[in-house]
Amino acid sequence: MRLFRLAAVLAVPGTILGMGCGGSGGSTPPGPTPTQMAKVSGDSQVATAGITLTPFSVVVKDASGSPVANVAVSWAVASGGGSIPSSSTTNANGVATGTLTLGPNAGTQTTTAASSGLSGSPVTFTSFSQIQGATSILANGGGSQTDTVLATLATPISVLVRDYKNLPVAGVSVNWSVTSGGSVGQAATMTNGSGIASVSRTLGATAGSQGTVATVSGLVGSPVTITATANAGKETQLALNGGDSQTGTINTALAQPHSVIVHDAHGNVKAGVTVTWVVGDGGGSVSSTSPVTGTNGVASVTRTLGPSAGTDADTARVTGLTGSPVVFTATASTVPLTADVTVGPSYSYSPASVTIAAGGSVTWTWAANSLSHSVHWLTAPGTLPSDSPTMTSGTFTSPAGSFNTPGTYTYECIVHGSLMTGQVIVQ
């Protein structure tokens, strides 16, 4: 009977006997604590853009240097593009891996592996993405040249292509194009043993900055634009630019200069051309008899009218140019082109009547301590000029074109009516 009872006790799990041997009933003791992360392999790989690399690997260990399994590691692209799965877990050897697919562009690409709280985290892997074995492209020669429109530049345009070590790369196909006109000798050229690709450049017909563009899609620095300056060709055309048909007072300078403009055969303005200027009928003078065209292709003179009323003429000439000579005419009048009137301070315009030449102008100036007055037009031989504001100080000048038609123009103060009137006689 006693033997039976002992056997029963031994057969039942969790009895007092079993507890005496094991304490807690068989729970798993705690595992090792991860403390550090380090790089294992996969760094500094070089491959063609878009390629999937050999996996990167890191190892996680505890404080005693033993590998730790089942630790989560986060992976991320830090710079330069590409893609990588976001996480992995360490194996029995404490190693976690991540596989990067390079981005579509050349250059340095970095990837990180991280696990929170570990010494050495994050770990950075550097990869080098290349296109046609190259990483970068930059300008090499032929920049900042200057020549005449339609000319072929003396020095070919060239670029330098290098790899991630900054060594030249041969056999890279470079595509060429232009901006702002002109052409290149070939649509594509190959880099030579020095990593240089070059092309001839013919300028377009429009003066100014023109670009040559070298492209290797995806390379760092692509596209590269190298500029040249096209100057206008030989002068071929002379034309009136401004200042004709003015009216002014005898022995005085016209308000606007007389000016001509010079172009080449392609319509580009031409600088540095000397224009011969001669005074004709009516006498008077010009400020220069040999002005030179500026960067805008324009040459100009100030025209002072002669001593008699009538038509004055002057001529601009460049021998051999189409459109030469250019003849200017002006009307010289004994009547002044401008007049001044004082408004107020009481109920008067002083003088009440002024006479000017057709095309001239009048300026009204409000006297100190003036009452509120205005210039309000009543009659005119044509369209009434614009009224002034009602003011107590300041000036008002008739807008251009107010007095083109000869005749008498009458006005009054809109505040004081017939108590305050004036007139402008245009001849």
Q: Is the dihedral of CA 343, 398, 303, 357 positive or negative?
A: negative
Residues 308-328 have pLDDT tens digits of: 999 999 999 999 999 999 999
DSSP labels, 244-265 = TTEEEETTSB-SS-EEEEEEET
Residue 24 is predicted with a pLDDT of 40
Low-confidence ranges of the chain (pLDDT < 50): 1-26, 28
Residue 400 is predicted with a pLDDT of 93
Strand-pair partners of 111 = 77, 125
Residue 29 is predicted with a pLDDT of 57
Residue 99 is predicted with a pLDDT of 98
Residue 7 is predicted with a pLDDT of 37
Residue 45 is predicted with a pLDDT of 98
Residue 46 is predicted with a pLDDT of 98
Distance CA 23, CA 116 (A): 35
Q: Are strands 95-98 and 395-397 parallel, antiparallel or unpaired?
A: unpaired
Q: Is the pTM of this model over 0.75?
A: no
Residue 16 is predicted with a pLDDT of 36
Is 233 in contact with 148 (CB distance < 8 Å)?
yes
